[in-house]
Homo-oligomer: A and B are copies of this chain.
Amino acid sequence: MHSFEQLVEIFETRLNNTLPFPLGPATLYEPCRYFMSIGGKRVRPVLCLMANELFGDITEDAYRAATSVELFHNFTLIHDDIMDKAPLRRGQTTVHIRNGLTAGILCGDVMAIYAYEQLAHIKTALQQVLHLFNRTAIEVCEGQQLDMDFESREDVSLDEYMEMITLKTSVLLACSLKMGALLGGATTGNADKLYEFGKNLGIAFQLQDDYLDAYGAESGKIPGGDIIANKKTYLLLKAMENANALQLSAIQALLTRDDEAKVPAMLSLFTNTGADIACRQAVAHYSQLAFNNLEEAAVQSSRKQQLHDLATYLLGREK
């Protein structure tokens, strides 16, 4: 059984060996190479490989699926950055800023196709994996569309927010795990448990991200960045749901401003409406669901240790 760090290293080596994008047209492939090289934690491919290793030695098919999911994830990031007008990703210049809109669109497009070309090499359960991957990919697009829609909507409910983060973020983690499991010969029951594990892990992770953006002090991020940007997070939506009339008008007044000075006032409102506690409870709730799902997978407990450790690491960022 391999640790997270070991699998990241193995995956990076294989990624570099199996994925030399062609040299030309350089205007297309140089930005692809650039974006794949600026990192990311490679969580999705490692989840795929770990789920595969639950059932035996890691298979060639699992490496294909892992590479595919990482390519797909990076494709979505490149296009999301265009839609979000983001200048930076992982501290580096985004493709559309660095190479222009055309390169941003086309690099994303071609990376999505390279993702499918990795899947096309899979020798077992190809059709099942393709359907799962496609359904997930469609959901990721739907999630991104909802996220974009929410920016200009004033009536987003907490349920809608949960749906959005599930589609935009969680299902791809879930799909990575289920692909790895299926390609390891897992039963449908076990594969589904791992899917649910990934989904709940993803939701917990995203809600924790919302919480830390407001209350944490992560390196490299502006504290309260979401608050300054008036982003509809779990905290804001829950605060609006719980607020009395006075609190609600205070929140709405703050939403007309975009200065750093408003952060402490909004944090107080999150606390006074109970949104901060609700968010911490939701993180704990979905974390618990995830660990339960992992527990329920009918695999020797010792084999699950690495997935357990990775989930703990991902969710262990609270102070």
Interface residues of A (CB under 8 A from B): 24-25, 27-28, 79, 82-83, 101-103, 105-106, 108-110, 112-114, 116-117, 119-120, 126-127, 130-131, 134-135, 137-138, 141-142, 144-146, 148-149
**With A102-B148, A134-B120: A109-B79 Cβ-Cβ less than 8 Å:** yes
Q: Say whether A116 contacts B134, CB under 8 Å.
A: yes
Q: Say whether B130 contacts A113, CB under 8 Å.
A: no
Q: In the complex, which residues of chain B have a beta carbon less than 8 angstroms from the beta carbon of A148?
A: 27, 102, 106
Q: Say whether A28 contacts B109, CB under 8 Å.
A: no
Q: List 11 A-B contacts (CB under 8 A).
A: A25-B142, A25-B145, A28-B145, A83-B106, A105-B105, A106-B141, A106-B144, A112-B112, A116-B130, A116-B134, A117-B135
Additional pairs, 13, CB under 8 Å, beyond known A25-B149, A83-B101, A105-B105: A24-B142, A28-B142, A28-B145, A83-B105, A106-B144, A106-B148, A110-B138, A113-B141, A116-B116, A116-B137, A117-B131, A119-B130, A120-B130
A131 (CB) vs chain B CBs: closest residue? B120
Q: In the complex, which residues of chain B have a beta carbon less than 8 angstroms from the beta carbon of A79?
A: 105-106, 109
Partner of A126, one of B27, B126, B134, B145: B126
A28 (CB) vs chain B CBs: closest residue? B145
Q: In the complex, which residues of chain B have a beta carbon less than 8 angstroms from the beta carbon of A130?
A: 116-117, 119-120
* Stoichiometry (number of copies): 2
**With A82-B105, A105-B82: A138-B120 Cβ-Cβ less than 8 Å:** no
**In the complex, what distance in Å separates the CA atom of A119 from the CA atom of B149?**
30
Q: In the complex, which residues of chain B have a beta carbon less than 8 angstroms from the beta carbon of A103?
A: 145
Q: Say whether A25 contacts B114, CB under 8 Å.
A: no
Q: In the complex, which residues of chain B have a beta carbon less than 8 angstroms from the beta carbon of A25?
A: 142, 145-146, 149
**In the complex, what distance in Å separates the CA atom of A120 from the CA atom of B142?**
20
Q: In the complex, which residues of chain B have a beta carbon less than 8 angstroms from the beta carbon of A141?
A: 28, 106, 109-110, 113
**In the complex, what distance in Å separates the CA atom of A189 from the CA atom of B235?**
63
Which of A110, A113, A126, A149 counts the most B-chain CB atoms under 10 A from its CB? A113
**With A79-B105, A127-B126, A145-B25: A137-B120 Cβ-Cβ less than 8 Å:** no
In angstroms, how far is the closest chain B Cβ from the Cβ of A149? 5
**With A120-B131, A120-B134, A126-B126: A145-B106 Cβ-Cβ less than 8 Å:** yes
A83 (CB) vs chain B CBs: closest residue? B102
**In the complex, what distance in Å separates the CA atom of A245 from the CA atom of B136?**
59
Q: In the complex, which residues of chain B have a beta carbon less than 8 angstroms from the beta carbon of A120?
A: 127, 130-131, 134
In angstroms, how far is the closest chain B Cβ from the Cβ of A129? 9
A146 (CB) vs chain B CBs: closest residue? B25
Q: Say whether B112 contacts A109, CB under 8 Å.
A: yes
A21 (CB) vs chain B CBs: closest residue? B138
**In the complex, what distance in Å separates the CA atom of A105 from the CA atom of B83?**
8
Q: Say whether A101 contacts B82, CB under 8 Å.
A: yes
Q: Say whether B117 contacts A134, CB under 8 Å.
A: yes
Q: In the complex, which residues of chain B have a beta carbon less than 8 angstroms from the beta carbon of A109?
A: 79, 108-109, 112, 141
